Amino acid sequence: MTNAADPAVVVVTARPDPGGLTRLFAASIPTLVVSEPGAALAALAGKAADLVLIEAAPGLDALALIRALRLKPHLARSSILLVAEGDPAEARRRGLEAGATDVVLPPLDASDLALRGRNLIALARAQGAVESQALALSREVERAAAESQEREREIIRRLMLAAEFRDDQAGDHLTRVAGCVLAIADGLGLSEEEGNDIALASTMHDIGKIGVADSILRKPGPLTEPERFEMMQHALRGYRMLHDSPSRLLRLAAEIALTHHERWDGAGYPQGLKGTEIPLPGRITAVADVFDALISARVYKPGWPLERARRFLEEQSGAHFDPDCVAAFLSRWEDVVALVEERPADRAA
């Protein structure tokens, strides 16, 4: 539908008043009359029109004008009525091929022509209404999708709080891991959206530890074999908590929970995956998680200096870790250092 300031009908004719064309719609519909194609193109530059009525005449190339109008996206739904001349069948074929909506030939009947024009105006406006409804629906779908994504993120934030209740240091650890994941994703050339999704999902990599007893989780000395086996179950438990969720982000978090303890050389757990058998989000999170665990104090060890943790990653590239993920991490080293300085890890055990 045209805006209030736009002409509903543009008549292009080289004659002063051919068959009353210029008076067909004046009584009820805003009409603009121009005498040559350039004026028509100028009048419709950036403006819509429901109907463009063009009379072919010597000195007015109606077909070229129709093609030029159809190249303008904002006129794609406008109806074009061509008053042609020459052989009826040929004139109609050429007009429709050029992009005319309808073609009529002399002798003209004013009432018939007005009826055709009104029908074409109604068609253009109906198409405009459909487009407006489609746009409104599209915006509503986008709004609903945004709300759904925010609900997903809120669920993840709440589950992060559950992890923090088990460990006072978990919040900063998860924040630093997510920041390191973003650095690695950026170094790998992943899109911002993909990096953000993996970073958010990575904050749930240890959610399965909710099911591990405090006597194991906070034990200051080495774990026994049964205790170590119980600790290793957190990867499977985290996966089982999340994997069948309808949420795409929670399914991504399930994948990370299951695979972030796998190793590039196949010596990890729980599945013993090797190399690219390990999903990329799990390989990225493995580097970020181990790095932050090394620089953070635990009940059984003090935190390492940053450079020592960096050397460990370099030494384990191609063994414990995906070499590309380590290289991406080191390529963003300054960002990692800034992150740790902003959210420092406790170095004293």
- CATH label of the domain that carries residue 263: 1.10.3210.10
Q: Tell me the percentage of the chain whose pLDDT exceeds 90.
A: 44
Residue 25 lies in a domain: yes
- pLDDT score, position 172: 79
Asked if 104 and 219 sit in the same domain, the reply is: no
Pull the structure tokens for residue 24. Answer: 């067909």
Asked if 175 and 128 sit in the same domain, the reply is: no
What is the average pLDDT score of the chain? 86
Residue 196 lies in a domain: yes
Asked if 201 and 54 sit in the same domain, the reply is: no
- pLDDT score, position 100: 92
Residue 3 lies in a domain: no
Residue 88 lies in a domain: yes
Is the CB of residue 232 less than 8 Å from the CB of residue 269? Answer: yes
- pLDDT score, position 5: 52
Residue 156 lies in a domain: no
Asked if 172 and 74 sit in the same domain, the reply is: no
Asked if 332 and 228 sit in the same domain, the reply is: yes
Asked if 106 and 173 sit in the same domain, the reply is: no
- pLDDT score, position 6: 61
Asked if 227 and 297 sit in the same domain, the reply is: yes
Please count the residues of the chain.
Answer: 349
Q: CATH number for the domain including 29?
A: 3.40.50.2300
Task: Mark which of 121, 138, 155 sits at the end of a domain.
Answer: 138
The letter for the amino acid at 290 is: V
Asked if 249 and 126 sit in the same domain, the reply is: no
Residue 298 lies in a domain: yes
- Number of Cβ within 10 Å of residue 219's Cβ equals 15
Which regions in the chain score pLDDT beneath 50?
A: 1, 4, 168
- pLDDT score, position 16: 64
Asked if 274 and 317 sit in the same domain, the reply is: yes
Q: Among candidates 196, 180, 195, which has minimal Cα distance to 329?
A: 180
Contacts of 312 (CB under 8 A, 6+ apart): 290, 294, 304
- Number of domains present in the structure of the chain: 2
- pLDDT score, position 273: 97
Asked if 179 and 238 sit in the same domain, the reply is: yes
Residue 237 lies in a domain: yes
Residue 4 lies in a domain: no
Asked if 173 and 134 sit in the same domain, the reply is: no
pTM of the prediction? 0.61
* Residue-number span of the structural domain to which 84 is assigned: 9-138
**Alpha-carbon span 79 to 230, nearest angstrom:** 73
**Alpha-carbon span 19 to 10, nearest angstrom:** 16
- pLDDT score, position 1: 46
Long-range contacts of 301-305 (CB under 8 A, 24+ apart): 301/349, 302/347, 302/348, 302/349, 303/345, 303/346, 303/347, 303/348, 303/349, 304/347
Asked if 127 and 184 sit in the same domain, the reply is: no
Q: Among candidates 102, 118, 112, 125, which has minimal Cα distance to 49?
A: 125
